[in-house]
Structure 1
């Protein structure tokens, strides 16, 4: 059986697992919110611990915190930042508003670990490091959580951009390899004028390249921190220099360029920067959904579909049909992107739910943003490495579909006119004849004129047939 120790908070006594570094308030949250069994994302833990570690150093430098206590808090923070004690962060993301339980979980763990560093046991009733007075010094849930939301996203931002850029690079390489393949374009899921496969696939790369620009722009607002606003933006209980010193210290510790807020009240009331970044991730998901769908359609078959592309065989596709292979990486990407879009909806609604000096829906904003980052990074990386790198073109199928496409007549419009063009297209489709054959039978052009006008490659380069 689990052994317990008794801890006290302002409400009374509560039993806590004997060796847990957390204390009464965390235990109450565990008991009150047994919602999902999920734990905080590593990015959130990293951010919150970093804030506490930075605050201890800032207060030590200003002579406001006993150096011995500060050093113990800093050491406890460094241990957690290096991967230790991560199992002590146990509060469900779906919890009381604002994230007080998250904040106290971090305060209690760091305080108890600091006390151990100073030679005290968890059972000692009088310990030098207090979770509120020392670890949470000059802080409030109301300014630490929004700061952690921003830092958590920025912590993985380069990883996100590198992942998206990797897709862009691989896809541009495929586009270059396939630029000589002329194929049927499709609009409304119906045959359209010719395009080069390189043009079609190159547009996928360009779309994500543009998304990188948008995401990068959206991330800039997250660099503006409101730490030091404490409970309501006034900075009550914080030294006048605390805000600027904290931003400088966090920049130093993270290597991430961060900025002071020009209005601490706005930085605590409004979640517009996280909401804006969430929307940018949703837009990335929109484009990847479209790309995944194109891959699925272009690889449909292999004998009765378009089958212009062949996805790598990575696993069997059916429990009943032997030999069946499915575009599983594209299917995975679709599902992942739908999840990102759903998370964004929750972030958007939570962002609008703030009242007066605080948005109490911050826990779900934090959780969803970190989850969105993970899902985008993981799914796009897998899609790129396991599908795009090994994607193969079926040249014969692409060229065969093009040869049967009656819409080739579009290039002849400037010569034979739209009405004659429509007649040729309908006859070609109805009688299963090529456009070339029908035009010659109707005496609309000579063979020499057709050879020049029906150059499919030239059609992909624009201009007017002569």
Structure 2
């Protein structure tokens, strides 16, 4: 047992969270003493980071600290099981870690995204807060690092280089599974339900922004749902690399200062605590020298953004009008659309989704670029990657929820307008091609357009078909086919 570890159990008290203090107190680290706010649990290294990296308003996302709570709890439990940490220290650390997981200590995790690229300062922020909270629970003097030390006890067998990527993976999995996927699934289900109700509403198709052969509104909407379902599949598949945890690799992947089996046992404990299938990364050098798993996972979010942008743009084009646009869709009127034009209503939820998608695509560029910047045994661009990943997951989730609730759910059809487009389209002539040939059918369409007459009038005038053949062949509902497996 380390000489820094006390052997006597001082007993843990039921002290509420918080420090009843004013002014400043003195904390210390290996570089010397630092004054910190007296009512905060953080210590010297956190305060140094706040001083040196007070850049913008971008704070390290709180989910990374909640995830870190699982890391510190799991390590304390494994260290105690191995006899490296007394049970009473374990219990105090676990109690503070649980409070971190629950978000009860959020105000004590203030650091900025723009800090050391390894995440060392956030790791030490967690170590210091858990240490001081544990000291308080044990009746000690906050800031003394006794009887619980931030490095020797809370960080035992660990390095920022292996724990920060571990926390990144835990936070990312939680963001995808708990925050994002439920909202995306609900959106897909809503689109599918609307699509099912409109499977027999024939509309004109459009390719190259020009009239094309018909399909049904339901088929079009099922196309959108299919995009989302495919994106969900890619996101789920991209999680595989995130289940592999770097913890136990310590500084460079060799596991120095961690006992045999530590990486395996901690990963298993994290899996038990979170209910997720986390395992120890089989190659710690890849897990710590790169952030490829995060890059691949964010690419899944990018894919969803691409699909959502297409869907939102389609909807706002189809809703353009109300008098001088396509006007096939009637979107909910949520708010006035203009400060100068009375009665104007805009497709605001669609626009929000497009902007969210643009932001996610930009985030993906940052994630991919940062992922390429690993050097030797460490990628030191971790904070910007996790900040962008969690930001993308959050805005995609919230955007899908609002898009579903305030746009998709209330969207209705202008069936008269849809019907008029079908009736007036010349692209229905495509159905005549097998009977009279492509060139003859093309000439009929060209004449209808040039003379401003109906397709039927142009077809009969050509002498290539009679009325009975035309009426039997040009049947929009019979032209839509299936396009969906099992339809």
Q: TM-score range by the shorter chain?
A: over 0.9
Cα-Cα RMSD = 1.5
Match of 1:141 in 2: 160
Match of 1:275 in 2: 295
- CA distance in 2: counterparts of 1:129 and 1:289, whole angstroms: 51
SS of residue in 2 equivalent to 1:249: helix
- CA distance in 1: counterparts of 2:122 and 2:364, whole angstroms: 22
Unaligned runs of at least 5 residues, structure 2: 1-21
Given that 2:96 and 2:130 are in contact with CA atoms closer than 8 Å, whether structure 1 keeps it comes out as yes
Q: Give the superposition deviation at 1:111.
A: 0.5
Match of 2:403 in 1: 383
Match of 1:128 in 2: 147
Q: Give the superposition deviation at 1:325.
A: 0.7
- CA distance in 2: counterparts of 1:15 and 1:440, whole angstroms: 93
Given that 1:225 and 1:260 are in contact with CA atoms closer than 8 Å, whether structure 2 keeps it comes out as yes
SS of residue in 1 equivalent to 2:203: strand
Q: Please, which of 247, 261, 267 is the counterpart of residue 241 of structure 1?
A: 261
- CA distance in 1: counterparts of 2:333 and 2:480, whole angstroms: 32
* 2:243 paired with 1:223: yes
Q: Please, which of 104, 113, 129 is the counterpart of residue 93 of structure 1?
A: 113
Match of 1:61 in 2: 81
* 2:447 paired with 1:436: no
* 2:484 paired with 1:453: no
Q: Give the superposition deviation at 1:126.
A: 5.8
Given that 1:39 and 1:89 are in contact with CA atoms closer than 8 Å, whether structure 2 keeps it comes out as no
Given that 2:202 and 2:214 are in contact with CA atoms closer than 8 Å, whether structure 1 keeps it comes out as yes
Match of 1:19 in 2: 39
SS of residue in 2 equivalent to 1:6: strand
- CA distance in 2: counterparts of 1:319 and 1:142, whole angstroms: 53
* Distance 1:221-1:384 versus aligned 2 partners, 3 A rule: same
- What does 1:193-342 correspond to in 2, within 5 Å? 193-342=213-362
* 2:416 paired with 1:392: no
Deviations 1:187-246 (A, max 9, x none): 000111111111111100011111111111111111111210000001001011211110
SS of residue in 1 equivalent to 2:119: helix
- CA distance in 2: counterparts of 1:62 and 1:406, whole angstroms: 79
Given that 1:37 and 1:92 are in contact with CA atoms closer than 8 Å, whether structure 2 keeps it comes out as yes
- What does 1:179-198 correspond to in 2, within 5 Å? 179-198=199-218
- CA distance in 2: counterparts of 1:311 and 1:229, whole angstroms: 54
Q: Give the superposition deviation at 1:462.
A: 7.4
Moved beyond 6 Å, runs of 4+: none
- CA distance in 2: counterparts of 1:88 and 1:39, whole angstroms: 12
- CA distance in 1: counterparts of 2:195 and 2:254, whole angstroms: 55
- What does 1:35-184 correspond to in 2, within 5 Å? 35-122=55-142, 125=144, 127-159=146-178, 160-184=180-204
SS of residue in 2 equivalent to 1:97: coil
Given that 2:67 and 2:101 are in contact with CA atoms closer than 8 Å, whether structure 1 keeps it comes out as no
- CA distance in 2: counterparts of 1:36 and 1:119, whole angstroms: 38
Q: Please, which of 360, 364, 369 is the counterpart of residue 349 of structure 1?
A: 369
* Distance 1:274-1:462 versus aligned 2 partners, 3 A rule: closer
- CA distance in 2: counterparts of 1:320 and 1:228, whole angstroms: 62
Q: Give the superposition deviation at 1:302.
A: 0.7
- CA distance in 2: counterparts of 1:370 and 1:271, whole angstroms: 15
Deviations 1:109-130 (A, max 9, x none): 111100000112325x462111
- CA distance in 1: counterparts of 2:156 and 2:38, whole angstroms: 27
Q: Please report the TM-score for the alignment, with normalisation by the length of structure 1.
A: 0.97
SS of residue in 1 equivalent to 2:151: helix
- CA distance in 1: counterparts of 2:424 and 2:114, whole angstroms: 57
Deviations 1:344-375 (A, max 9, x none): 11110111100111100011111111111111
- CA distance in 2: counterparts of 1:190 and 1:153, whole angstroms: 42
Instruction: Report which stretch shifted further, 100-109 or 5-14.
Output: 5-14
* Distance 1:221-1:126 versus aligned 2 partners, 3 A rule: closer
- CA distance in 2: counterparts of 1:272 and 1:402, whole angstroms: 49
- CA distance in 1: counterparts of 2:210 and 2:177, whole angstroms: 40
SS of residue in 1 equivalent to 2:49: helix
SS of residue in 1 equivalent to 2:204: strand
SS of residue in 2 equivalent to 1:303: coil
Query: Paired residues, what number?
Result: 462
